[in-house]
Amino acid sequence: MAALLGSGAPTHRVQVSQEKSSFRPGVRSLWGVLLVVLVHKQYLEKMQIKSFAYFTIKDRLPQILTRVIDTLHRHKNEFFEEHGEKGVEAEKRAISFLSKLRNELQTDKPVTPLEDELPDAALWNQYLDYQRNLPNGSGEPSWFQSPWLYVECYMYRRIHAALAQNPPIDNFDVFKEGKAQNFFESQEAIIALCTYFQELLKNIKDLDEKQLQEELFKLLQVSLWGNKCDLSFSAGEDSSQKSSPLQSLENMIPYILVNDMEKVWSLLVNAKKNRTERSNIRVDIILDNAGFELVSDLVLADFLLSSKLADEVYFHGKSIPWYVSDTTKHDFNWTIKQLGSANHMWMSRCGINWEGNLKKGVWVFHDHMFWTLPHDFSSMSEVAPDLYAELQKSNLLLFKGDLNYRKLTGDRKWEYSFPFHQALNKFHPAPLCSLRTLKSDTQVGLKPGQGEQIQASEPEWMGEFILIFRHLIELQKLEIQSRKPK
């Protein structure tokens, strides 16, 4: 039996069986596509008060809501200047909505249906109906007696509703300031990374295969460590990258627990060798955080093109502001424009080149509402078949971050040694790799006894370990796991 980690309550945890239930909570036609919500059987049991899920619901989420309310307060004059009294009234309504939401959370009120008419509302409400009908559940889901992943996603969806239902401020991103601050406070690291990369490009055509492999490994690790910069994990506090991670890679090598990066390399090299005139090598990056992490992802993507390991890169971001620092289309375009207009020569060169990649169509940005639903990825083929079909076109999927990892593995409390490819629960649209800084308890794919040994030696290992998992559609399991040094 595998437990769904952090069912989100001070007194409860949700457990999930490894087999699918025959229960299907809803079938609805949306945008002409048949959508079916597929979920797993769950039942409740006692959860430790000291769990990270409890800390998140009790402390981190109310802190994030308080910061959102404060952000709206501070922009009151801006709303008045742009929209007059209508803007001020909208701000008041949004704050009232959010204050009520915070109270519901802190007092463990029942989770209520979404009342807006946004395109995803029906799917959210179907998912709530499913939670209400759990055979071993308490009947009415509440903030502290529901799956952690569900209520955490639900909070961000309610934040979006607070703005979306209150024009003319409905397009205001309450997390925009924090994301911009992370970018600007990471300038030293961004300059170092852009400088390194532009120097690399001068000689990239002269590099032999071994040298290209070494550079890929470096940039994979930079993208990996960049995932530390997560504002939702720090509840909005500064999480910028203060120095170049390139300087630390050598020191981090002893902390790598399992390393199979060579198999990632092999897949890309084999795809390159087998490429035909009519076929392109496509890599998809499912983005996580804006700021330094996004820049590290863009550098990796540019390297893949420049080294001819890929012909095109598709980026997948969020369609609404999400988890404080997740990347939206605005964040993606804003970051490239900021780099292009920078005073530093190599930052500017990167931004200009990346703008060109978008114009040429070798870089493409997509967003889809599925990324901001509560469902794990094993249900994508049923809930969002159009997105699943799009991912099937890829030669390699790179999933960034902890939230994507939780949704890949169903957010269950698996045994540490449970095989990663089995935790994916038949989700394999294409070969995939997850690059993740550990920020939650869900963990699979370790050697027998490895996780328990770490837990015994370092009980506060949250955020100290980094993991890369790669999964081939042939169900080969490839893993890279590294640990942050003290």
Same domain as 252, residue 205: yes
* Domain-ending residue, one of 165, 194, 216: 165
Give pLDDT, residue 482: 41
Same domain as 428, residue 320: yes
Same domain as 143, residue 253: no
First-to-last CA distance in the chain?
34
| Residue found by looking up tokens 């059987």 in the block | 41
CB atoms within 10 A of CB 139: 11
Same domain as 330, residue 460: yes
**Inside any domain, residue 213:** yes
Structure token pair of residue 443: 């963990």
Collapsing DSSP states into helix, strand and coil, what is residue 230?
coil
pTM: 0.86
Q: How far is CA 436 from CA 232, 401, 470, in A?
A: 14, 4, 11
Q: What is the CA radius of gyration of the chain?
A: 22
Same domain as 63, residue 155: yes
Same domain as 184, residue 134: no
* Domain-ending residue, one of 111, 142, 165: 165
User: pLDDT for 253-270, tens place per residue?
Assistant: 666 665 778 889 999 999
Same domain as 413, residue 266: yes
pLDDT at 9 over 70: no
**Inside any domain, residue 25:** no
**Inside any domain, residue 486:** no
Name 15's bridge partners: 3, 43
- 412 class by beta-carbon count within 10 Å (0-12 exposed, 13-18 middle, 19+ buried): buried
pLDDT at 136 over 60: yes
**Inside any domain, residue 170:** no
**Inside any domain, residue 296:** yes
**Inside any domain, residue 35:** no
Give pLDDT, residue 137: 64
Same domain as 120, residue 220: no
Q: Please, what is the average pLDDT of the chain?
A: 83
Same domain as 156, residue 278: no
Q: Which domain holds residue 214?
A: 175-234+243-476
Q: Which CATH number fits the domain that encloses residue 70?
A: 1.20.930.60
User: pLDDT for 67-123, tens place per residue?
Assistant: 999 999 999 999 999 999 999 999 999 999 999 999 999 999 999 999 999 999 999
As a whole number of angstroms, the distance between CA 235 and CA 233 comes to: 5
Query: Domains in the chain: how many in total?
Result: 2
Mean pLDDT of 21-45: 29
Find out whether 374 and 124 touch, Cβ atoms under 8 Å.
Answer: yes
Mean pLDDT of 344-369: 98
Please name the amino acid found at residue 89.
Answer: E
Same domain as 156, residue 211: no
**Inside any domain, residue 44:** no
* Domain-ending residue, one of 165, 183, 218: 165
Same domain as 198, residue 77: no
Same domain as 183, residue 129: no
